[in-house]
Amino acid sequence: MGFTLNGIQHELARATVSARLTEAAPEVILKHAVRVNAIWFPVMQAFETATGIPRADFKSRAARRHLATLGYEIRGEISPPASEPADVSATSPSPVVDESWHTEANVQSAIVAWLAGRGWRILSVANTATRERGIDVVAARGDETVGIEVKGYPSRGYADPARATESKRTSPSTQAGHWYGQALLAAMKLRGKQPGVHSVVALPDFLRYRTLYAETKSSLDAAGISIWWVDSQQAVTADGCNPEL
């Protein structure tokens, strides 16, 4: 897999990740974790060890995205009890709800990991942080190809630290309606340009989106567009005209 980080092109293979973490002792998991060789590692440690890139030079979100693209299982915020040391031999940590689970980047990471776990080959993953143009996720399995438009759920505040104390004028529910419409338009354009590609919209599982989907389901089914839901534990469920992908 090739990727660009800070303007530099890198190559990373699953076998490389596995080999370089074979003798590594997992650090304490404070937030995001990745499972390599049946052992859970902090995402930052795993990516740094596998690539040789100092963790000060990359963000957790980028590490999660690239490791998920290679097919590794990612978990959200994981915090061991303060009174007990982390059990580094555990192979199944208990995830805690991450308040940022419904961001576009995290929904995208969950979708990529889910697809990889079901035998799909990830062809491309757009950088949502830089609003890279194009289909957010493209994957193939056998003769099938799927193109996925990903949306998160709006927050009440601004992501910009300079405006952290401000509240958005537009309510999350209203903004979610706009985002839903944008996602459907992108999915319809994909159907028109590439009718042989399965068109999917991936959304965090919120009642607002569920309501909008119920109101548009018959039209989406007729258009051949499916909806995939991502919950707070990064589990994915498929809905719509072709849920068995």
pLDDT tens per residue across span 97-132: 445 788 888 899 889 989 988 899 999 888 877 777
Residue (of 218, 226, 216) closest to 191 by Cα position: 226
The predicted structure's pLDDT at residue 215 = 96
Residue 70's pLDDT band (cuts 50, 70, 90) = confident
Rg of the chain taking only CA atoms, in angstroms = 19
Distance, CA of 28 to CA of 85 (rounded, Å) = 8
Q: Where are the domains of the chain?
A: 2-75, 104-240
Q: Please, which pLDDT band fits residue 161 given cuts at 50, 70 and 90?
A: low
CA–CA separation, 67 vs 34, rounded Å?
8
Helices (H), 95-161: 104-117
Q: How confident is the model at residue 146 (pLDDT cuts 50, 70, 90)?
A: very high
Of the candidates 208, 213, 206, 215, the residue with the CA atom closest to the CA atom of residue 227:
213
Strand partners, 9: 4
Distances (CA, A) of 129 to 50, 139, 197, 215: 23, 20, 25, 30
Share of the chain above pLDDT 70, in %: 82
Q: What's the rounded Cα separation, in Å, for the pair 135 and 138?
A: 7
**Residue for token digits 């957010």?**
136
CA 183/CA 185 separation, integer angstroms: 5
Asked if pLDDT for residue 203 goes beyond 90, the answer is yes
The domain 104-240 is placed in CATH, from the list 3.40.1350.10, 3.60.40.10, 3.40.50.1820, 3.30.565.10, at 3.40.1350.10
Which of 180-189, 190-199, 230-239 bottoms out in mean pLDDT, i.e. has the lowest? 230-239
Question: To the nearest whole number, what is the mean pLDDT of the chain?
Answer: 82
Token representation of residue 135: 């289909």
pTM of the model: 0.60
Q: Cβ of 58: how many Cβ atoms within 10 Å?
A: 17
Query: Residue 10's CB: how many other CB atoms inside 10 A?
Result: 14
* Per-residue pLDDT band at 81 (split at 50, 70, 90): very low
